[in-house]
Chain A
Amino acid sequence: MTNASYQNQKVRKHYDVAFPIVNTVILILLMFVTLYPVINTVAYSFNDGTDALKAGIGLWPRVFSTKSYESILSDPAVYQAAWISASKTVIITVLNLFWTSMLAYTLTRKEYVLRKVITTMMVLTMYVNAGLIPNYLLISRTLHLRNTYWVYIIPTMFSCFNMVVLRTYIAGLPEALVESARIDGAGDIRIFWQIIFPLCKPVLATVALFVAVGSWNSWFDTHLYNASKTELHSLQYLLKMKLATTNQSANAANASVEALTSSAASKTTPVTIRCAITVVSTVPILVVYPFLQKYFVTGMVLGSVKG
């Protein structure tokens, strides 16, 4: 062993010892930076609304109050809305995983004659948008989905971005898996369901997270199609409305002065309601996340194939 390479080896050893420490320090710092706004939001949400107007709250409420949460959770409509949101999120997630992964698989098959045309058409949908009105008219007039629960499900069963994510992942799996199954006489449907789909757990967990968060956080569909059906309101729509109402003293700019001075006072303020809403709508995601997180383990997938 030459002196130089010995030296190299030694330096490398130093790195290997120092790296975990440096890495830990970096990650801890990063946690502080990203945790601060979160804790700050929680602190505001538990602060008295009027007092919070003065700003300057850090990691702990200045004047503790649960009024913002009371005003959100005391509304019986919140529970119905949470049910609507939860159920549509589950249904959409399941349907999305089903359609999206199936399509992604077919588009990794190089011999598939429709591969090119379908891929191109799908990918382009991410970059072209017809605009709000034609989409609205399609759903409202052509399909008559207004004022129905189905408007949450049918238009959002598929996502091209997630399809691409899945396709990339499947394409990275060893081709031999498919080949050997085909030699055993398996058709594509069986290959997909019995071999590929189970191997996609981590990326399915990722896509499930994307879809579920997107569906859980959407309010625009309710606003467009189900605003007058109170029993179909989604949670995010209701929360958004809550915030908008709290903001209303500002929105009513053009109404007469008499009305405004009489409605200016309110016990909760947008500053704290906004934060409480964020907490209320994020907690369910936080609860679900660990269940998905366990799939994000390096090497797990192929280890299981080979083992």
Chain B
Amino acid sequence: MRKLLSVLLALCLLGSLLVPFAVAEDQEPITLTYFYGAPGDQPNPDNKIYKMIEDEFGIKFEFEFLAGDLDETLGLKLQDEVYPDLFDGGNSAETLIDAGALINLLDYVNPEDTPNLWAHIEPEKNRIITHDDELDEDVMYIIPNYGLGEGEQIVNSVGGPAFFIQKQVLAWDNYPTIKTLDEYFDLIERFIAANPTNPDGVPYVGFDILTEDWRRFCMINPVQHLMGRPNDGEVLVDVNKDDYPTETFINQPYAKPYYKKLNEEFHKGIISPDTFVMSYDQYIAQLSSGIVLGMFDQAWDFGDATNALLTDKKYENTYVALGLVYDEDDVPAEDMPEGWTIEEHYVNGSLPNLDRGAGISVTCKYPERIIAMWEKLLSPEWAMIMNWGIEGEDYSIEDGRLTMTPEQFANTTDMEWRKSNRAYAIWDSSPKRQGYIMEGDLAGNCWEPGNQPENVFGLMNDYDKDFLSHYGFSKFGDFVNPPIELAPYGEAWQINKDPINKDYQDFLNIQDTQLPQVIMAPEGEFDAKWDAFVEAINPSCEVYSNFMHEEILKLVAAYYGE
């Protein structure tokens, strides 16, 4: 009896020990190593958001930010097989997936256990979840870190590619509507003829073409947009045909009119030869000085210059994004792809940032803890903490609207401030709420401060307000057509070109070396230079086009669940 009692007692003791232990294991403090595939600042030790994360989830992070070359760094980590717990491969995350360094998140993510995560990916699950034929199972290694917005797509301004023009040029001509290449260059020519220099006596530059390294897209990408397609990188896809004909556009007859136009502008002095030897820093310097009247670029690529102009209050020198397309008589009918019609579409439907963000490595011991954290970060309260910060400190709520003072809003982009007040690295590479808040007291507000109309328009300067009023627009996004529906394959530039890398490198090198020569061709030699260029680039274009067509067909099939 005594024996039995003591056994029972022992069991009770054991039980009482076990129960709290089991709970504790769930929240046992852990430190996770985190590789972030881009440069970044180590957060300050007193960072308030990381402190909240530690309190809530019992997780601390040891970050490694990228300092050298991404591919080289990933290559070494894979060779060494020493993986961080959380592994964000940046723009080369495919390498991690190919190497089998990441776990399949579908083992943990499902409608029952992780309702928030599931709801987050559900609308785009055909793109996000793929089928691995070798394993014969559905796989999802990375939850896209951007582009899964809720509600209507927000287009306050053009953030991507466009032909840009200084606001003063449009104002000078009494706010015309510019839709074609001819109108665009004609306006710049007339403006420069009337105003050869700025008020300080510095000559204006008519049109800049940036070519430095990967920023060559400023020279190469315009043709697809002139043909009426949003950004597919270097190929033109006919989305209206069932078999999605795909071809590189740079070697096509319909590309020629654009470069012919540039050649003419070169001889008129609108384009200077210096543009082809310009470094990115020099380009930004020119733009920041307010002497460049127009260029093709993507808005984020010259954000620094815009900042500089705003700081100097040179509002008239900031830029408007125009959606130019070919006029019907720009391209001879026989040069057009079969059955092609041109309609302006610079802005595409919202695009999930596939295979970008953090994955969980196969050597991580706590995948459940990370999934649980991500799940919770998508809850409304944590989404607000990650996106807006702490109420009262970083923002306030007035009449159901989220508001920030100008200082608070400026903080959100201040890197020094972020080190103490934002969990930026986690925010950047984890799944997050974007777009509009659809439910609850705050419905109708934006998940991100940068999109909240009060922040965007409340701080708009008077010049811009006046400028827009001449067009009867409420925002700069109104200069282009509303977003087109995203093609089933997404955007073709996302396709990983590794398998044809050497041909792709040839493709780039030939453009780099020969296209500037084409644009600067002496009068009468343009056609010969153009033909030589097309001949040189054709072989790599063929490999590239075929490869992209196959990949696009695969993506389309996957999208429709075939």
Residues of A with Cβ closer than 8 Å to B? 50-51, 53-56, 71, 74, 77, 132-133, 136-137, 140-141, 146, 219-220, 222-224, 227-228, 230, 237, 240-242, 244-271
Contact between chains at B303 and A267 (CB < 8 Å): no
CB distance from B25 to the nearest CB of A (A): 25
- Shortest B278–chain A CB gap in Å is 12
B356 to chain A: which residues have CB within 8 Å?
254-255
B299 interfacial by beta-carbon distance below 8 Å: yes
Kindly state whether residue B84 has any CB partner on chain A within 8 Å: yes
Cβ contact within 8 Å between B300 and A266: no
Is the CB–CB distance between B416 and A258 below 8 Å? no
Contact code string B348-364 (vs A, CB < 8 Å = 1, else 0): 00010100100000000
Cβ–Cβ contact B308 & A54, under 8 A: yes
* B64 in contact with A228 (CB, 8 Å): yes
A contact residues around B434 at 8 Å (CB) = 258
Please state if A262 and B414 are interface contacts (CB–CB under 8 Å).
no
Evaluate contact between B68 and A265: CB separation under 8 angstroms: no
For the complex, give the distance between the alpha carbons of A133 and B80 in Å. 9
Asked if A259 and B146 make an inter-chain contact with CB atoms under 8 angstroms apart, the answer reads yes
Contacts of A133 in B (CB 8 A): 75-76, 79
Within 8 A of A (CB), among B265-305: 280-282, 284-285, 288-289, 299-301, 303-305
On whether A255 and B146 interact (CB within 8 A), knowing A55-B282, A230-B42, the answer reads: yes
A240 to chain B: closest residue by CB: B67
Tell yes or no: B451 within 8 A of A by CB: yes
**Which secondary structure dominates where chain A touches chain B?**
helix
With an 8 A cutoff between CB atoms, is B160 at the interface? yes
In chain B between 126 and 149, which residues have their CB closer than 8 angstroms to a CB of chain A?
Answer: 145-147, 149
Smallest CB gap from B415: residue in A: A266
Q: How far is the CA of A150 from the CA of B331 in the complex (A)?
A: 66
- Of A240, A252, A258, the contact of B450 (CB 8 Å cutoff): A258
Q: Chain A residues near B41 (CB, 8 Å)?
A: 241-242, 245
Closest A residue, CB atoms, query B69: A223
The listed residue with most B CB atoms (<10 A of its CB), out of A222, A223, A246, is A223
Are B303 and A261 interface neighbours, CB within 8 A?
yes
- Asked if B300 and A136 sit within 8 Å, CB to CB, the answer is no
Q: Which residues of B contact A227 (CB under 8 A)?
A: 64-65, 67
Q: Are B40 and A248 in contact (CB-based, < 8 A)?
A: yes
Mark contacts of B540-555 with chain A using CB atoms, 8 A cut-off: 1 yes-contact digit, 0 otherwise. Answer: 0000000000000000
16 A-B pairs besides A237-B67, A258-B154, A261-B157 with CB distance below 8 A are A50-B308, A53-B304, A132-B76, A224-B68, A245-B415, A246-B415, A249-B304, A255-B145, A255-B356, A258-B149, A258-B451, A259-B428, A262-B413, A264-B304, A267-B414, A269-B304
Given A54-B288, A55-B281, A55-B282, A257 and B67 contact (CB-CB distance below 8 Å) = no
Tell me which of A55, A237, A266 contacts B285 (CB under 8 A). Answer: A55
Are A250 and B301 in contact, CB atoms less than 8 angstroms apart?
Answer: yes
Q: Which of B68, B76, B300, B312 contacts A261 (CB 8 A)?
A: B300
Chain A residues contacting B75 (CB-CB under 8 Å) are 133
Decide yes or no whether B382 CB sits under 8 A from chain A.
no
User: B509 on the interface (CB 8 Å rule)?
Assistant: no
Complex Cα distance A234/B145, Å?
31
Q: Closest A-chain residue to B155, C-beta based? A: A257
Give every chain B residue within 8 A of A222 (Cβ-Cβ): 67
Q: Is the CB of B80 within 8 A of A244?
A: no
Q: Which residue of chain B lies nearest to A255 when distances are taken between CB atoms in the complex?
A: B146
User: Cβ of B39 and Cβ of A223 under 8 Å apart?
Assistant: no
How far apart are the CA atoms of A141 and B77 in the complex, in Å?
12
B412 at the interface (CB under 8 A from A): yes
Give residues in B with beta carbon < 8 Å to A. 33, 35, 38-42, 62-68, 72-73, 75-76, 79-80, 82, 84, 91, 145-147, 149, 154, 157, 159-160, 214, 280-282, 284-285, 288-289, 299-301, 303-308, 311-312, 351, 353, 356, 410, 412-416, 428, 434, 448-451, 494
Q: How far is the CA of A289 from the CA of B42 in the complex (A)?
A: 33
Contact of A53 among B65, B288, B351, B451 (CB under 8 A): B288
Pick from B39, B67, B289, B311 the residue with the most CB of A within 10 Å.
B67
**Complex contacts, B62 vs chain A, CB 8 Å:** 228, 230
Cβ of A245 and Cβ of B40 under 8 Å apart?
A: yes
Chain A residues with CB under 8 Å of B147's CB are: 256
**A53 and B39 contact, CB distance less than 8 A:** no
Residues of B within 8 A of A224 (CB): 68, 76
- Give A124 to B157 CA distance when docked, in angstroms: 60
* Shortest Cβ distance from residue B68 to the other chain A in the assembled complex, whole angstroms: 5
Closest 5 CB pairs of A and B: A264-B303, A257-B159, A244-B39, A262-B450, A260-B300
- Contact yes or no, A54 B289, CB < 8 A: yes
Task: Write the nearest CB–CB distance from A175 to chain B, whole angstroms.
Answer: 48
Evaluate contact between B82 and A146: CB separation under 8 angstroms: yes
| Closest B residue by C-beta to A257 | B159
Q: Are B289 and A256 in contact (CB under 8 A)?
A: no
On whether the beta carbons of A248 and B38 are closer than 8 Å, the reply is: yes
CA distance A248 to B413 in the complex (A): 12
Complex Cα spacing A246 to B416, Å:
11
Looking across the interface, which residue of chain A has its beta carbon closest to that of B39?
Answer: A244
Q: Are the C-beta atoms of A219 and B67 separated by less than 8 Å? A: yes
- CB of A266 within 8 A of CB of B353, answer no
Tell me the complex Cα distance, A264–B72, Å: 27
Contacts of B282 in A (CB 8 A): 55
Chain B residues within an 8 Å CB radius of A269: 304
Known contacts A132-B72, A256-B351, A265-B413; A248/B39 CB under 8 A? yes
Alpha-carbon separation in the docked complex, A133 to B289 (Å): 45
Measured between alpha carbons, how far is A224 from B73 in the docked complex, in Å? Answer: 8
CA gap between A56 and B286 in the complex, in Å: 10
Contact call A53/B416, Cβ cutoff below 8 A: no
> Chain A's nearest CB lies how many Å from the CB of B524?
37
* Pick from B311, B413, B449: contact of A264, CB under 8 Å: B413
CA distance A170 to B33 in the complex (A): 51
> Which B residues lie within 8 Å of A223 (CB)?
67-68, 73
Q: Complex: how many Å from CA A289 to CA B448?
A: 52
Among residues of A, the one whose C-beta sits closest to the C-beta of B72 is A132
Q: How far is the CB of A253 from chain B (nearest CB, A)?
A: 7
Residues of B near A250 (CB, < 8 A) are: 280, 301
Residue pairs across A and B with Cβ atoms less than 8 A apart, 28 shown, are: A51-B311, A53-B285, A53-B288, A53-B304, A71-B416, A133-B79, A137-B79, A219-B67, A223-B68, A224-B76, A227-B64, A241-B41, A245-B39, A248-B38, A249-B300, A249-B304, A251-B38, A251-B39, A253-B91, A254-B353, A256-B353, A258-B448, A260-B300, A261-B303, A262-B449, A264-B306, A266-B414, A271-B281
